[in-house]
Amino acid sequence: MTYELERIKQLCQERNWSIYRLSKEMDTQPADLYNLFRRTTTPTVSTLRRICKALGITMAYFYSAESDSYNLEDQQKRILYLFDALSEKDKAKAEAYMLGLMDKE
């Protein structure tokens, strides 16, 4: 199986998503994704972009070796996943909010 297919499976498992759920998030037919896995072919760049968009991640994160090197707790992974899906403006707001929470202590 290709690195890309393994990574897709890993990212889906982290979210407790099935390939079927991913296909629905991508607004595509489940058979399209199942065929990728059955043939063990590398997805096209266009398909990978759609997968990343559905997962709420960047292509850089998809190929990032660093994402596997940290031992994050499930809650930390969820927060990073949600943060990554935000616009740059909203990321700045989230950071300011967290800094404000830290000041309360």
- The listed CATH number (3.40.1370.10, 1.10.1040.10, 1.10.260.40, 3.20.20.100) that belongs to domain 3-67: 1.10.260.40
CA gap 37, 42 in Å, rounded: 9
* Every domain of the chain and the residues it spans: 3-67, 70-103
CA neighbor of 85 nearest in space, from 63, 64, 55, 65: 55
At residue 19, what is the residue type?
I
- pLDDT values of the chain reduced to their tens digit, one per residue, 105 residues: 888 999 999 999 989 999 999 999 999 999 999 999 999 888 999 999 999 999 988 888 888 855 554 556 778 777 887 888 888 899 899 989 988 888 865
Decide: 12 and 18 in contact? Cβ < 8 Å: yes
pLDDT of 69 reads 44
**What integer pLDDT is reported at residue 59 of this predicted model?**
84
Instruction: Render the chain in DSSP notation, one character per residue.
Output: --HHHHHHHHHHHHHT--HHHHHHHHTS-HHHHHHHHHHTPPPPHHHHHHHHHHHT--HHHHT-SGGGTS---HHHHHHHHHHHTS-HHHHHHHHHHHHHHHHT-
Q: What is the pTM of this model?
A: 0.62
- CA pair distance 35, 103, nearest whole angstrom: 51
